Structure 1
């Protein structure tokens, strides 16, 4: 899929078919996350792929707005070593994963993790080292229903020379 088309058409998906995602596709998506922009080339990220039904349900139950994780064939936890630019680096990796999923014809949704009250519990559940912090959870799968959520017009957000 054309990169600009992916960027313009990607939307959050919260309803998934039960069809499994091939391991090779998941690995390619994570590889795209690994190649994200990173401050000082530190690359602090680690990715935990969860496909086990019980584990996804447990994570979904812990979150406040991610109950649909239980239905998604794949959940990816993006964790980063606690560095100066942890949020920027982890968010760049997360965005790459969302875009790669779309390029593979999959739906996805970013669920907040950083500084959420459940972050430490998920880090512990995933057996993450203390030096790693949860940045995001990403539900991935074949979309049951595509979202066509409206986006603001360019004229509403673009400013030239000053606000």
Structure 2
């Protein structure tokens, strides 16, 4: 598939088949992210790959802010948590805190995430860029052993079970 078709076929996928994603495919996704341009070539991202119960624990942490009819944020986080539990693979995207580089690092990380999402399409996978981790980012970072890093986002990845 050529780049234009990959871009045109990229969709936010919220339902996945249970098929496992092999290590080689995970490596290809990460390598495409790593090849992304970044401000001053800082490559300010750190990617953690989660599967199984560890991945589901992230969703459970996100659900701690959910209360029925509480608010739109909590409801959005609950919907994203359901996607995470359904997806076979979750990337957590972290950044070292450096206020002097905050804006350029965030733009660089956004571009890196898009590279991963486009490579997912190229590999026949689907992805969802998740920002709802923001409501519980400190709890998630603590739970996975990186309390000094800032959790920027997450990406759910798997074989699509829908074609929106």
TM class by shorter chain equals 0.7 to 0.9
Return the TM-score normalized by structure 1: 0.83
- Any idea what the Cα deviations from partners look like across 1:87-106, whole Å, max 9, x if unmatched? 11211111111111111000
Aligned mates of 1:89, 1:142 — CA distance in 2: 26
Paired residue secondary structure (2:135): coil
**Counterpart residue number, 2:80:** 66
Answering whether residue 98 of structure 2 is matched by residue 78 of structure 1, we say no
Report matched runs for 1:8-87 at 5 Å: 8-51=8-51, 53-63=52-62, 64=77, 65-67=79-81, 68-83=83-98, 84=101, 85-87=104-106
Report matched runs for 1:14-163 at 5 Å: 14-51=14-51, 53-63=52-62, 64=77, 65-67=79-81, 68-83=83-98, 84=101, 85-112=104-131, 116-128=134-146, 130=148, 132-147=149-164
Q: CA RMSD in A?
A: 1.4
Structure 1 stretches of 5 or more lacking a match? 148-163
| Contact residue 113 and residue 135 of structure 1 kept, 8 A | no
Return the TM-score normalized by structure 2: 0.82
Q: After TM superposition, which residue ranges in structure 1, 4 or more long, deviate above 6 angstroms?
A: none
| Contact residue 91 and residue 135 of structure 1 kept, 8 A | no
| Contact residue 129 and residue 156 of structure 2 kept, 8 A | yes
Paired residue secondary structure (1:27): helix
